[in-house]
Structure 1
Amino acid sequence: MASRVEIISDEMIKPSSPTPTHLRILKLSLLDQISPPIYVPLIFFYNHLQNLSRHQISTLLKQSLSNTLTDFYPLAGRIHDNSSINCNDQGAEFVEARVHTSLSEIIQNPNMEELKKLQTSQGEDEKVMLRVKICFFDCGEISVAICISHKIADGTSLVAFANAWAAATRGETPDFQPSFNFSSVFPPRDLSALESTQRVGITQEKIVTKRLVFGKEELAKLKIDSGSQVKNIPTRVEAVSSYIWRRFIKAKDGTRTTSFAAVHAVNLRQRKSPPFSQHMFGNCWRPAIALSRAEASEAELVGKLRGAITRMDGDFIGQIENGEYLNVLSRTVDMFIKGGVEFSNFSSWCRFPVYEVDFGWGKPVWVCTTTMPFKNLVILMSTPCGEGIEAWVNIVEEDLKMFEQSQQLVIH
């Protein structure tokens, strides 16, 4: 059933304390510069609000967001020329809306078009760093949608912010006190020769998003089926990624495509020795790229994927630090532009503590993401119980039928 969303208010929330003059300009790191100009979305759903009124919830969330933005001050700023953030305290967008349906109708049979109504419009001003939308359902439940610009944050940083905001709402001191010094580790570079880098993979084609749900038993079977040629039993993420990659390959088998690539986002924070501080906020990821031919089995795909991820080590991070990585990036962009390679993109958010985001009325009953403008993009998230995986598959509409025919699990 289509839900009707009624906007109540739309305003900018500014930090509760002004940003000091010496912090007004934040240089982007190289990894920020080459991150795509999109928003990273998450929606949190809650059904136990301790008899709080809409006004009480709104006031509480606005005040705690204002307080949190004092520490996360770049999120209240505006991007400038893909080189820096002007931390001018213009604020984060805060939208409130009524949704004339029940939360259960939304989450029992998720529909992407309905879910997108629960987040803010993302195309009006790309310079805004943070957009929030609070939706109040007819039966008293709420959703909290957070969209952060990928130019300043990756998924890890987004969830760290969400937990910090939630802690402030509970009246507690957040565990995460951010630092914004990735530019000292990955200095910004002149990217004039790689102007197209940021938008590589972003498509104007119509993208549809479907959800694959892998339960505990299905994951166990996938791990066994795909592990015959791997020294160790594959992880859940490796097994699911290779399974879906194989489906993408089968959907394109027989076309002019000669080779296939799995591009898997890798969090670099723990791959540095010693690891980067957990308090560093920004982009700290890079894609591992595995290449394959159409005839490869799922077990072979697991091996190729694991090998590519393993190579994302301290030496690789050193190449980013000293600028050598730009040569690797240039070759990757050329491979994408020239064609002949079908790319499948994966990002695992399974370890993100999204179900710990408690604003004071309990943990979320469900957390999801929404469509992003990338062809063959798969976001992996844990199910609420933690034992399964939800795979959000973004695919070009005309390819969906072939993809559904190439897989055996039920698409929800």
Structure 2
Amino acid sequence: MEVEVISKEIVKPSSPTPHHLRHYQLSFLDQLAPAVYNPLVLFYSFNKDSNPTITEISNHLKTSLSNVLTLFYPLAGRVRDNLFVDCSDDGIPYFETRVKSRLTDVTTNPVPGEINKFLPFQPDEVAEFGLGVQLNIFQCGGIGIGVCISHKLGDAFSFFMFIKTWSAIAHGDQPDYIVRPEFVSATLFPPKDTTGFDSRMGITKKNIVSKRFVFDASAIETLRAKYEEKLGCRASRVEALSTFIWTRFVDSNKDEPGPKLYNMLHSVNLRPRFEPPLPENSFGNIFRIAVTAPTYLSSGEECYGLAREVREEIRKIDKEYVKKLQQYGDEHLDFMKKGGEKFMRDELMTFSFTSLCRFPVYEADFGWGKPMWIGSPALTFKNLVVFMDTKIGDGIEAYISLKEEHMAKLEGDQEFLTFVSPPLLLG
């Protein structure tokens, strides 16, 4: 798919950042976050009777973007030395492109690697800029808005907070309905000396392929029912699907030499786990990882207990965990370093899951309706799964990134394919 950049410019905040806010301190958890971008592309189609011109669309986006950057002022700065953001209102890169294809060429058969072309930066680029936006204009008049936010500044929750606020401003919502961020992360988790910790561990372009698989609601319900007996209650959609994908990955690679010490990693939002809970508009990397060391490595009936293990580890990320993390951050850093050393020595294989399910991803109306589809690009983390809700129904889109040989084995696994929606086995 050919994408031609036709213009580049810098969009700056509509109002200058006050002098006392020019030095934005990264938190300890920001420092631990990978130096990459969180990326998504929002696709919009237009009714021929109300199709705005590209100039109108672009000017509308840039004006509202300038206004929202005043609220999210660190995003318009520059990250320095993994310690702070220089909030000097330098602005964010804004690109416009012409796509020599129709929007339906993308949405009828989404290929994650092709979606990368609609982004202002590649996800694994070192994140000096806090934010980047790319407006992609298709031959049919439809558009794709590619957005990248530095993971050093915010987690997925922060990403969607920004999208929600930007679209609300663009839509002309009343000020009382516009979410304003609270920058409390560094107060909760003061920065530390992270010497010896590599935040880019696991990021690689070599031999990694990303593909999108769709699991419809009935397939997910079947998996939830399978795991219910061992779990003692109904498994969540994410618990069931992550357990299933992991077990099929292990089974399809059971004859491969290498490390047999596995960790399953699930990202967990800490905001509701504070005492009292943090407001939802708390901006930053306010998440941690639940680590499950699976007891079972086969795919037989006994492995269904893994869903229970996953739930137990996620539940350990509670208010007591948060208190200890605040008090004993150095111990947590040592734990992260030791895990990284095992990973680099090939003693440990990790498999990471990030869920964007239940986020209001399809509510972003910039003034011309809600997105027809939202896509994730190919990511350069080995053994990574990103879950997103399907637009309609209770299905889940799973973006899976694996080594090429591991992906080939997974795609050849008949039990795995049994649960994938056949018409939507894309990639």
TM over 0.5: yes
Q: Identify the match of residue 397 of structure 1 among 388, 394, 404.
A: 404
Aligned to 1:109: 109
Per the alignment, residue 359 of structure 1 pairs with 366
1:46 aligns with 2:44: yes
Q: Retained in 2: the 8 A contact 1:259–1:294?
A: no
The AA in structure 1 aligned to 2:352 is: N
Aligned partner of residue 199 in structure 1, secondary structure: coil
**Which residue in the other structure is 2:58 paired with?**
58
- Give matches, 1:344-383, under 5 Å: 344-383=351-390
Pairwise CA distance, 1:102: 1.1
User: In the alignment, residue 262 of structure 1 is paired with which amino acid?
Assistant: M
Counterpart-to-counterpart distance in 2, 1:298 and 1:346: 18
Q: Does 1:130 align with 2:131?
A: yes
2: CA distance between counterparts of 1:331 and 1:114? 36
Matching residue's letter, 2:321: F
Q: 2:318 aligns with which of 313, 317, 333?
A: 313
Corresponding residue SS for 1:6: strand
Cα shift at 1:204: 4.0
SS at structure 1 position matched to 2:190: coil
By how many angstroms is 1:13 displaced?
0.4
- 1:234 deviates by 0.3
- SS of 2:392's equivalent in the other structure is coil
1:278 corresponds in structure 2 to 280
Q: Is the 8 A contact 2:38 2:149 kept in 1?
A: yes
Task: Quote the residue 2:9 is aligned against.
Answer: 11
Name 1:141's counterpart in structure 2: 142
How far off its partner does 1:141 sit? 0.8
Contact 2:115 2:378 in 1 (8 A): no
CA distance in 1, matches of 2:342, 2:266: 16
List per-residue Cα deviations over 1:128-158 (Å, max 9, x = no partner): 1101111111111111111001000111111
Answer yes or no: is the 8 Å Cα contact 2:36–2:125 preserved in 1: no
- Contact kept? 1:219, 1:388, Cα under 8 Å: yes
CA contact (8 A) 1:319 1:325 kept: no
Cα distance, 1:228 vs. partner? 2.2
Aligned counterparts of 1:247 and 1:298: Cα–Cα separation in 2: 11
1:167 aligned partner:
168
Deviation larger for 317-326 or 342-351: 317-326
The corresponding residue for 1:268 is 270
The amino acid across from 1:83 in the alignment is L
Runs of at least 4 residues off by over 4 Å: none
The residue number in structure 2 matching 1:295 is 298
Would the aligned equivalents of 1:216 and 1:387 in 2 still touch at CA under 8 Å? yes
CA distance in 1, matches of 2:226, 2:352: 22
Q: Per the alignment, do residues 75 and 56 of structure 1 end up closer, same or farther by CA in structure 2, a change over 3 Å counting?
A: same
CA distance in 2, matches of 1:284, 1:319: 15
Q: What SS is found at the alignment partner of 2:304?
A: helix
Contact 1:249 1:260 in 2 (8 A): no
Q: Give the match for residue 240 of structure 2.
A: 239
Write the letter of the residue equivalent to 1:93. P
- Hey, what does 1:153 align to over in structure 2? 154
| TM-score (structure 2 length as normaliser) | 0.92
324-333 vs 154-163, which moves further: 324-333
Which secondary structure does the structure 2 equivalent of 1:240 belong to?
helix
The residue that corresponds to 2:197 in the other structure is 195
How far does the alpha carbon of each residue in 1:299-347 deviate from its partner, in whole angstroms, 9 at most, with x for none?
1221111111111111111122122422332333233233332211100
Alignment deviations for residues 171-219 of structure 1 (CA, whole Å, 9 cap, x no partner): 2235210121210001111111x332x1222224232111111111111
Cα separation, 2, equivalents of 1:307 and 1:47: 43
* 2:32 corresponds to which of 30, 34, 55: 34
Give the CA deviation at 1:298: 4.2
Contact 1:207–1:371, Cα closer than 8 Å, also in 2: no
Q: Which residue of 2 aligns with 1:221?
A: 222
Task: Say whether the 8 Å CA contact 2:220–2:240 is kept in structure 1.
Answer: yes
Q: Which moved more, 1:9-18 or 1:172-181?
A: 172-181
| Shift in Å, 1:397 | 1.5
**Inter-partner Cα distance in structure 1 for 2:345 and 2:140:** 52
Give the superposition deviation at 1:73. Answer: 0.4
Give the match for residue 22 of structure 2.
24
State the superposition RMSD in angstroms. Answer: 1.6
Once the two structures are superposed, residues 59-86 of structure 1 have per-residue CA deviations (whole angstroms, 9 ceiling, x without a partner) of 1110110010000000000001100000
8 A contact 1:77–1:129 mirrored in 2 = yes
Percent of aligned pairs with the same amino acid: 38
What SS does structure 2 have at the residue aligned with 1:287? Answer: strand
SS of structure 1 residue aligned to 2:204: coil
Is the aligned partner of 1:330 residue 2:330?
no
Change (3 A) 1:164 1:379: same
- Residue-by-residue CA offset, 1:281-314 (whole Å, 9 max, x unaligned): 1111111111124226441221111111111111
Q: What secondary structure sits across from 2:293 in the alignment?
A: strand
Which consecutive unaligned segments of at least 5 residues does structure 1 have? none
From the superposition, tell whether residues 218 and 13 of structure 1 become closer, same or farther in structure 2 (CA, over 3 Å).
Answer: same
TM-superposed CA distance for 1:256, in Å, is: 3.0
**Mapped contact 2:220–2:395 kept (Cα < 8 A):** yes
Q: Is the 8 A contact 2:78 2:86 kept in 1?
A: yes
Conserved? CA contact 1:36–1:150, under 8 Å: yes
- Asked if 1:251 is matched to 2:243, the reply is no
Count of residue correspondences: 408
